[in-house]
């Protein structure tokens, strides 16, 4: 990695457009996140592990009593992988958006960071890398819980944390981008209703939308969450075709890339210009 000298706060226009993201800066930010997390870990960990477990149990028993097999697997198995995806989304959505808002507008953390040789790209990357790691953890925890409930897993389940990281990175960037646009915490319902709920619900997390009307099915196919669920299902349960898995991974990579670019652009606009 090239080390670019100079502080980020000055002469934004003089800098080359595509700056390298330096590993040491990202590492410093991830370490900072870890230090913060160490002090508050209990509440968020309880939330991100208990909540998907609850969805797994309640929907597994609730809907499971009404339907037995969905898309060729028992509903509990179907829901278990959905719950892992939900855990990733919950960890990497409203948290990053609110964090982004409060760190920018209330604690002025970003102003302080930009006073050091750290740039907007590195802030976005560092925070998303960290959120991705937490997502990997909660996805793993959810499949462990699922195994305890008797969901039969295949050997490729070891890829679940990797998939969780990739999707978590993408969602974290997407919601950080939205957080960079917030002007008041009262605007949070816009993000909930406009981004979080559609991603959460118009996906295949709870049930396949194969029989839904085309106007509902088609948008769901463009939802990264749908592909996260498909790839998780393939890894944990061994269902799905190679094409589905490759498509899913490609969508997740695309989501991560585009969301990262959006987050960098909007956070820079919010902080610097």
Partner 1 sequence: MRATPATATSPGVGAVGAIVWREWRVFRRIWLAPTVGSVVEPILYLLVFGYGFGALVAEVAGISYLEFMATGAAANAVLLTALMTGAFQGFFRRTADHLYDGLLSAPIRVADVVTGEAAWTAVRSAGVTVTTMAVARVFGVGLASSVLWVPVIGLLGGFAFACLGAAIGARIRSDKQLDVVIAGVFAPMFVVSWTFFPLDGAPVWLQWPARLSPLTHMVALLRAAAFGHTATADVAVHAGLLLGFTLLFWMLAVRWLRRAVVS
Q: Nearest distance from residue 164's CB to partner 1, in Å?
A: 18
Cβ proximity to partner 1, 21 vs 212, nearer residue: 212
Binding of residue 250 to partner 1 (CB under 8 A): no
Question: Would you mind telling me the total number of residues written for the chain in this entry?
Answer: 273
Which residue(s) pair with 73 in the sheet? Answer: 70
Q: How far is the CB of 66 from partner 1 (least distance, A)?
A: 5
Q: State the nearest-atom distance from the C-beta of 51 to partner 1, in Å.
A: 5
Between residue 54 and residue 83, which ones bind partner 1 under the rule CB under 8 A? Answer: 54-55, 57-59, 61-63, 65-67, 70
Least distance in angstroms from the C-beta of 49 to partner 1: 8
Cα separation values, 239 from 200, 224, 230, 231, 266, Å: 22, 18, 9, 9, 39
Task: For residue 194, give every residue at least 6 positions away whose Cβ sits within 8 Å of its Cβ, in sequence order, or none.
Answer: none
**Is residue 40 at the binding interface for partner 1, with CB under 8 A as the rule?**
yes
DSSP state of 19: P
Segment 161 to 200, residues that bind partner 1, using CB under 8 A: 184, 186-190, 192-194, 197-198
Tell the smallest beta-carbon distance from residue 201 to partner 1 (Å).
4
Structure token digits, residue 201: 């619900």
In whole angstroms, how close is the CB of 178 to partner 1 at the nearest point? 13
Considering the complex, state which of residue 61 and residue 246 has its C-beta at the smaller distance from partner 1: 61
Question: For residue 68, is it left (φ>0), alpha (ψ between -120 and 50) or beta?
Answer: alpha
Token pair 């609850």 is found at: 54
Q: How many Cβ atoms are within 10 Å of 159's Cβ, its own excluded?
A: 15
Rounded CA gap, 260 and 17, in Å? 15
Alpha carbon distance 1, 81 (integer Å): 37
The residue range among 18-26, 49-57, 113-121, 233-241 that interacts with partner 1, by the rule CB under 8 A, is 49-57
Contact map string, positions 112 to 151, toward partner 1, x by CB under 8 A = ----------------------------------------
Looking at the chain, list the stretches that DSSP marks H as alpha helix, in order from N- to C-terminal side: 23-40, 42-62, 75-91, 94-101, 109-114, 120-148, 160-181, 188-191, 197-201, 214-221, 224-237, 242-271
| Binding residue count for partner 1, defined by CB under 8 A | 41
- 23 lies in the binding site for partner 1 (CB under 8 A): no
Residue of 11, 14, 211, 273 interacting with partner 1 (CB under 8 A):
211
Nearest approach in angstroms of CB 97 to partner 1 is 14
**Hey, CA dihedral for 243, 174, 91, 23, is it positive or negative?**
positive
Stretch that binds partner 1, among 15-23, 51-59, 133-141, 245-253 (CB under 8 A): 51-59
Binding site for partner 1 (CB under 8 A): 40, 43-44, 46-48, 50-51, 54-55, 57-59, 61-63, 65-67, 70, 184, 186-190, 192-194, 197-198, 201-202, 206-209, 211-213, 216
């Amino acid at each position: 990695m090239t080390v670019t000298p100079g502080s980020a706060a000055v002469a934004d226009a003089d800098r080359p457009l595509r700056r390298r993201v330096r590993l040491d800066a990202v590492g410093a930010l991830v370490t900072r996140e870890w230090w913060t997390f160490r002090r508050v870990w209990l509440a968020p960990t309880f939330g991100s592990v208990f909540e998907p477990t609850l969805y797994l149990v309640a929907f597994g028993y609730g809907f499971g009593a009404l339907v037995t097999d969905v898309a060729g697997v028992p509903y509990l198995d179907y829901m278990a992988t959905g719950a892992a995806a939900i855990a990733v989304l919950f960890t990497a959505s409203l948290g990053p958006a609110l964090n982004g808002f409060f760190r920018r507008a209330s604690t002025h953390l970003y102003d302080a960071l930009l006073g050091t040789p750290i740039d907007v790209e590195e802030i976005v990357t560092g925070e998303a890398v960290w959120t991705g790691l937490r997502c990997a953890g909660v996805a793993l925890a959810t499949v462990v819980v699922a195994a305890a409930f008797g969901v039969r897993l295949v050997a490729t389940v070891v890829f679940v944390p990797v998939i969780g990281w990739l999707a978590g990175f993408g969602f974290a960037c997407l919601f950080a981008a939205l957080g960079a646009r917030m002007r008041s915490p009262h605007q949070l319902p816009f993000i909930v209703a406009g981004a979080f709920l559609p991603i959460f619900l118009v996906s295949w997390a709870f049930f396949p939308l194969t029989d839904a009307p085309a106007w509902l099915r088609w948008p769901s196919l463009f939802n990264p969450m749908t592909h996260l669920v498909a790839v998780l299902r393939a890894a944990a349960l061994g269902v799905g075709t190679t094409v589905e898995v490759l498509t899913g991974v490609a969508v997740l990579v695309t989501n991560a890339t585009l969301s990262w670019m959006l987050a960098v652009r909007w956070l820079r606009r919010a902080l610097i210009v």
